[in-house]
Structure 1
C-alpha cells in the first residue's frame, strides 16, 4: 500500500506524529479521493498575502498594545522606542526562521519543529508555553471586556443596571460573540474580523491623540529620562505585545501559496503595520500621562470622560475580534498533544472540535470572573512565555537544524538573539522580584479623576472643566 502524505511526514520527522492543521489534512484526503475537486474548492477558502498579513497583524495587536505606554514609562521614552524597533526586527526575523526551520525538518507546526530539533523535552516545554500564552491572553481579553464595558454602561445607565455588572457582560459577550467565532475550523475565515479589528484600532489611536492635545497633566519627575533601570521589564511587555509565533504556522498553512518567499512578504507587511500602530499608541499614551501611566492606559482616562468611553468600547470590540484567533491556537496545541500521544486519531472529528472549544471558552470564562486585575500579567507572561517563543526557541531550532558549525556566519544572528533572550528572562525575573510593586494593580481613580468626578456632578460633560482639573492636578 502506498504511504499517505501524513505517513511520509511521520517518517521524515523521527517517528513524530504530524501536527498539520486539520483543515489541510482533510483537503489532502479529499483531493486524493475526488481527483482534487474538493481541494480546489478548499483553496477558495484560503487567504492571500494581504489576508494573511492582516491575520498576523491582528494577532500582534491584541491586549498587549494598551500596555505599551507603560513600557515606555519603564524604559524611558527614547530608549523604549528603540527597544520597540529592535523587538520588531527580531520578531520579523524569528518568524522567518520558524518557517525555514519547518522546511528543514519537514514539519508544519511549531510543536513539530521543536520536536524535530530539540526532542521530547523541547516539545513538552513548547506545548506548555504555547498553550499558556494564548490561554492567559484569552482570560485577559475577558477581563478587559468586563472592566471597560461595565464602566461605559455605568456612565450611560447606572451602577445598579444589569449591563453594569461585569459578570453579566463577560458571560453575554462570550456566549453570543466569542464562542461562535471560536467555533470556526479555518483560520482564513477570520480575515474580515482581523480587518475590522485593525480599523477600529485606528479609531482608538485617533482618540488617544485628541486627548494628547486636550488633556494637560503636569509632567512627573524624570518623565523624559532617556533610559530607566526597569527596561528589562519593558522588554517583556513589548515582547508580549509582539508575540504572534504561537499561531504563525496556522496562518502559514491557511495561505493560498504557502512558501517561504510569500511568508516573508506577510511578515514584513504585518510587522511594519503593527510597529507603526504600536509606536503611535505607546508614544501618545505616555506623553499624555508620563509618570501616571498605568499598565492599561485606558484606566488613566477618567470614567466621566465620554470620548475615552468611546475608546473603551472600540478597544473592547478589537479584543472580541482577537479572542477567536487565540482560541484557535489553544485548541490546536491540545489537539496536537492528544494526537502525538496516540490518544486519538487525526483528522479531528467535529465532536472533538466542539468539546475542546467549549472547554477552553468555559475555562477562560470562569477564570476571568475571579479577577479584575491583570497588571502583572503583561510582564510575567511576556518574560516567561513570550520571550522564549520569540527569541529563544526559533533560533535554537534553526541552529540545530541548519547544516554547518554552530558558529558559522549564517547562525551568528540566531546565536546573538538566543543569548539576548536568555539574558532578558533572567534579568526580567530578577527585576520583578526586586520591585514587585511596579506591577501593582490600580483599582481606584487617580487624583486628577477624583477632582474631576466631583465637578462632573455639576457639569457632567463639561470639557473645559475636565481640562482645568487635569491641568491643576498634582
Structure 2
C-alpha cells in the first residue's frame, strides 16, 4: 500500500520550486487568474504541506540518526567536561546555521541550497555543495543499511534461538536478507513520496525508538558486569586527547542542513518565525537526548566506551536487544530522508529547469536506493571512507557554506569584524579548521588496517 500511495503522490504535476519552497510568501500567487481569485486553488495551497509537529518530527529524526550512538565515544575522546561543552556549543551553532540557510535563501532569492551556492559562488559553488550533499546523504544511506544488518538479525536470533533451523523462516536471521527486506519493503515505498512532510509519522515512530534507546542505556548501564565497565577514575576528565575527532563525531550527529530547505518548504505556512520554532524545538530535543545518552553511558564505560555504545552491552540483554531493534527501526525510517536529499540534489543539478517526470523520479529513487543497498549487502564496515564523506561533508554543509554565503550576501561595505559579520566569519574559520583536521586524521587512519572497508559476502 505505501508503494502505491508513494507512486500516486509522485505522479502529481511537479510545481516550480517557488511553490514547493515558498521563500517569498504570497498565498495568492498562482491562485489569481485574469484578476479573479480561484478559491479552490487558494484553499489547496493553504492546506498543502505539514504542520509544525510534522516538521519537528522530520528534523529531529534527521538529527537523531546513526551518529547518536557514537556520542558516548565522542565524550571519551574529548573528556567529560569538554564533551558536554562541545555538545551544547555545537548544538547552538547547528541551530543558528540551519536558520542561516533559510535567511540566505531569502536574501538571494534562491530556492535550494544548490541555488544559494550557485548565486554566491557560481558553478564551482554549485558543484561543491552538490557533491557534499550527495556524498553525505548517500554515505548515510549506506551506513543505515549496514546498521540494519548488524542489529535486527542479531535481535531476532536472540529472541528466537531456534529460528535459524527452520527452513525459509530462517532467512529472517540472515543479514543480507533482512537488509534487502527492510530496504525494499519499507524504505523504498516511503522514498517514493515527493513531499517530505509525509514522512512525519515514520519519523515520529523513529523518535519513539530513539527514546527507548536512551532509556535502555540509562537503565542498563549501571547494571552491567564490573568487567565491562571502564576505569572509574576517568569519569570526570576535563579534556581528552581526541578533541578534533569528537568535534567531527558530534558534527556528523547534528548535521541536517542538507534537508533544511526541504523541511522549510514542507511547512503549511512557511515563515522564518515558524521554521525558527521548528529548529529550536528539534535541536533542543536532540540535545537533551544526546546529552542524556552520552553522559549516562560514558560515566559507566569511560575508557572502554565503543564507537557504537550498544556494543558495550551483553548480546543476551533483553532490554538492550529491544534498543538494538529500535536502532535498526530508526535506520530504515530515516533512510528515506537521506534519499530525498540525494534525489533532489541530482534533480536540481541536472534537471532544474525541467518539469517533473514520473519515470525519472522512479528511476532515480530506485537507482539510488538499490546502489546503497548493494554496498550495505557486501560491506560490514565502510571504514575511513565514511569518516571522510561524513565528517568532511558535515563540516562543510553545517559550518562553512552557510556562513560563507551569508558573508557573501551581506553588504560588502560592512567590515568583517562588525557585529553583523563576525559570528559568520568565526563559524566559517572554525569549520575550515575542523574540516582540515578531520581530513588529515582520516587520511592518516587510511594507512592503517583499521581504515579499510570490511567486505562480508
Q: TM-score, length-normalised on structure 2?
A: 0.86
Matched, 1:248 2:273: no
| Structure 1 position 230, deviation (Å) | 1.2
Unaligned runs of 5+ in 1: 1-17, 444-474
What TM-score, normalized to structure 1? Answer: 0.83
| 2:183 pairs with one of 174, 179, 189 | 174
TM alignment of 1:237-316, pairs within 5 A = 237-316=249-328
**TM-superposition CA deviations, 1:335-391 (whole Å, max 9, x none):** 101224x6xx12x12221111111111111111112112454664334310001011
1:392 aligns with 2:400: yes
Task: Tell me if 1:135 matches 2:138.
Answer: yes
Contact 2:384 2:453 in 1 (8 A): no
Aligned residues of 2:21 and 2:261 also touching (Cα < 8 A):
no
Structure 2 equivalent of residue 447 of structure 1: none
C-alpha distance in structure 2 between counterparts of 1:42 and 1:442, whole Å: 48
- How far 1:428 sits from its partner (Å)? 2.1
Deviates more, 1:157-166 or 1:432-441: 432-441
Structure 2: distance between partners of 1:32 and 1:197: 41
Q: Is the 8 A contact 2:66 2:144 kept in 1?
A: yes
Write the mapping of 1:414-433 to structure 2, written as runs, cut at 5 A.
Answer: 414-433=424-443
CA distance in 1 between partners of 2:321 and 2:384 (Å)? 24
Partner of 2:214: 205
- Which of 215, 231, 236 aligns to 2:248? It is 236
Aligned-residue offset at 1:325: 1.1
The structure 2 residue matched to 1:190, chosen from 183, 186, 199, is 199
- How far apart are residue 56 of structure 1 and its match? 1.0
Counterpart contact for 2:20–2:265, Cα < 8 Å: no
CA deviations over 1:105-148 (Å, ceiling 9, x no partner): 00121111111111110110000001111111011111101110
- Aligned partners of 1:257 and 1:268: how far apart in 2? 17
For residues 170 and 238 of structure 1, the distance between their equivalents in structure 2, rounded to whole angstroms, comes to: 27
Q: Deviations over 1:148-200 (max 9, x none)?
A: 01111222235563211111000111111111111111111111222221122
CA contact (8 A) 1:211 1:288 kept: no
Paired residue secondary structure (2:82): helix
User: What are the residue-to-residue correspondences of 1:143-182 with 2, within 5 Å?
Assistant: 143-155=146-158, 156-158=160-162, 161-182=170-191
Q: Partners in 2 of 1:438 and 1:285 — Cα distance?
A: 28
Aligned to 1:320: 332
Structure 2: gaps spanning 5 or more residues: 1-15
Tell me, yes or no, if the aligned pair for 2:235 and 2:298 is still in contact at 8 Å: no
